[in-house]
Amino acid sequence: MLIILLIIAAWILFLLLIRKLKIYFFVFVVGSIGLFCILMYIGRGTVEKYLEHAVTYSMYLISKATDIYVAHPEYSMLTVYYNSQAVSFFVDYECSGFIESIVYISLLAFYPVYRWRRKILLGMAGTLYIFISNIIRVFIICVIIKKFGPSLFFFSHTVFARVLFFFLMVGLYYVVFTRAHILRQKVGKIGYEN
């Protein structure tokens, strides 16, 4: 534990140094990577499990209305029936959105375009968006298995749902990072803001 605290202290001191030297790109890179590692260390096993259960419980609530699959929130497991066959899979760290959420929060925390109040609001909204995107991803996996059978589990989980989730994340990152940066950009006397 002492080693971890020393590493965090060294990270903070290094951040203060490069900020004082006005090397803002490295503040963003070193800050984001460091915060990601800290959040990963702290949240792995605790926050991650809560997110897994939250996704499974949300899927449980949806299953009551759709009858496409059976959710077992106590085990973080979903079962999809197709004719006489069944596919069960666990909602683990990959489907919880834990890693995606801390990447987003880490990047946002050191992104220089927003003030802290706005960063907190965007952090909460973006994390909720990632959570809902994961629910959509898992739901689509269940729909594909229910419609086309267990032979498409690998395709639906590994290919289709990941590509869908990727595009949902690109949309989030575009709105939060790229679009905001373009709108605040100024070239000479020309600006893109209202």
> Residues near 184 by Cβ (< 8 Å), separated by ≥ 6?
113, 192, 193
For 81-122, what is each residue's pLDDT tens digit?
Answer: 998 888 998 888 788 889 999 999 999 999 988 899 999 999
Q: Is 28 exposed, middle or buried (0-12, 13-18, 19+ CB in 10 A)?
A: middle
Quick one: which of 125, 69, 135, 46 has its CA closest to 97?
A: 135
For 18-73, what is each residue's pLDDT tens digit?
Answer: 999 999 899 999 999 999 999 999 888 889 889 999 999 999 999 999 889 999 88
Per-residue confidence band for 143, with pLDDT thresholds at 50, 70 and 90: very high
Ramachandran assignment for 149, one of left (phi > 0), alpha (psi -120 to 50 degrees), beta (any other): left
Q: What is the pTM of this model?
A: 0.87
pLDDT at 172 over 60: yes
Gyration radius of the chain's alpha carbons: 20
Q: For the beta carbon of residue 177, count every other beta carbon within 10 angstroms.
A: 17
Rounded to whole angstroms, what are the CA distances from 179 to 48, 66, 81, 99, 186?
30, 37, 43, 23, 13
Separation between Cα atoms, residue 24 and residue 184, nearest integer Å:
17
